[in-house]
């Protein structure tokens, strides 16, 4: 085992896959010589050369399209979009092309492309460097959508994504790159080395796509969440002295309904939390599914915790961010603690 933060873990996944599979190529803005603005691709171009680790023009649509063409010609491209907020120029290529190539050609063509992109707030990025657009990808048939919450899962899921023959949109919660974050910006940063999931095997392993994780077992209430919010929710539940069961969704598509619903059926109470805006967010899909499957087990209405339905404002970062207070309020309602 080695101590890795999420950046090292992702770098290790790319390194291993570039080494194992000559078809793997990595492309994106600033990812070659410089090693990426978040250092995830550090050293890879030096090791594997400029033909496998390609710096690209600033054109997300071109990056995705080129990756699709490369994928159709037998390569396994891993494209980086520097911030999820910049992914929209590539949205047509992702939605109309990447997601549907296998379907429309009845399996004759496919492009096994992984699109990595840092998402989420809490880094003073304002409305152009803080978005969590997972729902608008989860809504598209033909895409797998993944978001890890710790270094171990990040590496295992990224290797699984690269090895997957379907396109995977891989969201990296950038606030978690250097350490788990419980939502309190005034507390000293905690490094991953102090966290059990900062222990990462140096070699090849996978975390299966399509499987949620029970991040913490409990019997009082189920919290269904992913990304940065896994850690915020843990802290909020602890603060209330609740034995919350925390389900880390990890994969939005395909969704592990079984793990989620089994937990809610047991606890009878559920809070859903994500950083993204609430309206038509991924939480709505979770809530609807849980309601359909677990209605007769529910002791209280499901509550959603999310970012407000506004752009992510620079000056009001912590008023926007769904921190422990907002999670705790929802937990109190669902637990009927204030009655």
Partner 1 sequence: MPTKSRLHVPATPARPGEHSDFSWLRLSPAGAVPRPEITARATDILFLADGLVRVLDDAGEALGPWHPHLDPPDLQIGLRHMLLTRLFDDRMQRIQRSGKISFYMGSLGEEAVSVAQALALRPDDMLFPSYRNQGLQVARGRPLVELMCQLLSNTRDMCKGRQLPVLYHWREGNIFSISGNLTTQFPQAVGWAMAAAIRGQDAVAASWIGEGASAEADFHHALLFASVYRAPVILNVVNNQWAISTFQGFAGGEQSSFAARGPGYGIAGVRVDGNDFLAVHAVTLWAAERARTGAGPTLIEHVTYRGAAHSTSDDPARYRPRDDYRHWPLGDPIERLKQHLMRLGEWSEERHAALTAELEQQVGAAWKEAVSYGTLTDPPRLDPHLMFEDVFREMPPHLRRQDAELRAERSEG
Task: Assess 203 for contact with partner 1 (CB under 8 A).
Answer: no
Contact present, 38 and 7 (Cβ < 8 Å): yes
Task: Assess 62 for contact with partner 1 (CB under 8 A).
Answer: yes
- Given the complex with partner 1, which of 237 and 247 has the nearer CB atom? 247
Q: What are phi and psi of 93, to 5 degrees?
A: -65, -35
- Given the complex with partner 1, which of 106 and 188 has the nearer CB atom? 106
The interface region with partner 1, picked from 172-180, 184-192, 199-207, 255-263 by CB under 8 A, is: 255-263
- Distance of alpha carbon 2 from alpha carbon 60, whole angstroms: 34
Which positions are annotated as active-site residues? 129
The interface region with partner 1, picked from 145-153, 248-256, 262-270, 309-317 by CB under 8 A, is: 248-256
Shortest Å distance, C-beta 77 to partner 1 = 8
Task: Assess 92 for contact with partner 1 (CB under 8 A).
Answer: yes
Task: Assess 70 for contact with partner 1 (CB under 8 A).
Answer: yes
Across the chain, the runs of DSSP E, i.e. the strands, are 2-3, 24-28, 53-55, 76-80, 114-119, 144-146, 168-173, 199-200, 213-216, 221-225, 244-248, 251-253, 270-277, 303-307
Task: Specify the DSSP element, H or E, that contains 63.
Answer: helix 60-72
- The residues, any chain, with a CB within 8 Å of residue 107's CB and separated by 6 or more, are none
User: Would you give the binding string for partner 1 spanning residues 157-196, x where CB under 8 A is met?
Assistant: --------xx------------------------------
The interface region with partner 1, picked from 67-75, 116-124, 186-194, 330-338 by CB under 8 A, is: 67-75
Task: Assess 135 for contact with partner 1 (CB under 8 A).
Answer: no
User: Which one of residues 37, 39, 42, 69 is an interface residue with partner 1 (CB under 8 A)?
Assistant: 69
- Given the complex with partner 1, which of 74 and 196 has the nearer CB atom? 74
- Given the complex with partner 1, which of 157 and 334 has the nearer CB atom? 157
Among 112, 107, 97, 90, CA closest to 29: 90
Angle, nearest 10°, between helix axes 257-267 and 282-294? 60
Task: Assess 313 for contact with partner 1 (CB under 8 A).
Answer: no
Q: Pinpoint the alpha helices (H) of 115-228.
A: 134-138, 151-163
In Å, the largest CA–CA distance within the chain is 64
Chain residues that interact with partner 1, rule: CB under 8 A = 25, 51-52, 54, 56-57, 59, 61-62, 65-75, 89, 92-93, 96-97, 101-110, 141-142, 144, 165-166, 210, 253-255, 257-258
């Amino acid at each position: 085992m080695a101590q890795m933060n999420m950046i090292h873990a992702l770098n290790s996944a790319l390194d291993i896959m570039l080494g194992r599979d000559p078809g793997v190529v990595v492309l994106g803005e600033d990812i070659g010589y410089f090693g990426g603005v978040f250092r995830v691709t550090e050293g890879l171009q030096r090791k594997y050369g400029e033909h496998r680790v390609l710096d690209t023009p600033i054109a997300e649509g071109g990056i995705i399209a080129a990756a699709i063409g490369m994928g159709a010609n037998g390569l396994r491209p891993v494209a980086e979009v520097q911030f999820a907020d910049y992914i929209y120029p590539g949205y047509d290529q992702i939605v109309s092309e990447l997601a549907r190539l296998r379907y429309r050609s009845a399996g004759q063509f496919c492009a096994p492309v992984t699109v990595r992109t840092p998402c989420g707030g809490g880094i003073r990025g304002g409305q152009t460097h803080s978005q969590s657009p997972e729902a608008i990808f989860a809504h598209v048939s033909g895409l797998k959508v993944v978001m890890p919450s710790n270094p171990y899962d990040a590496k295992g899921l990224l290797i699984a994504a690269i090895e997957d023959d379907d396109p995977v949109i891989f969201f990296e919660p950038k606030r978690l790159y250097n350490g788990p974050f419980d939502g309190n910006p005034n507390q000293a940063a905690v490094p991953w080395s102090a966290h059990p999931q900062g222990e990462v095997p140096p070699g090849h392993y996978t975390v299966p796509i399509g499987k949620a994780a029970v991040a913490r077992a409990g019997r009082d209430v189920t919290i269904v969440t992913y990304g940065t919010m896994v850690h915020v929710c843990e802290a909020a539940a602890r603060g209330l002295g609740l034995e919350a069961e925390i389900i880390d969704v990890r994969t939005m598509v395909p969704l592990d309904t079984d793990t989620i619903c089994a937990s809610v059926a047991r606890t009878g109470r559920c809070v859903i939390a994500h950083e993204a805006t609430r309206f038509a967010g991924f939480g709505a899909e979770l809530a609807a599914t849980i309601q359909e499957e677990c209605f007769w087990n529910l002791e209280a209405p499901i509550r959603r915790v999310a970012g407000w339905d506004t752009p992510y404002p620079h000056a009001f970062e912590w008023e926007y961010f769904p921190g422990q207070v907002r999670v705790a309020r929802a937990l109190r309602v669902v637990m009927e603690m204030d009655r």
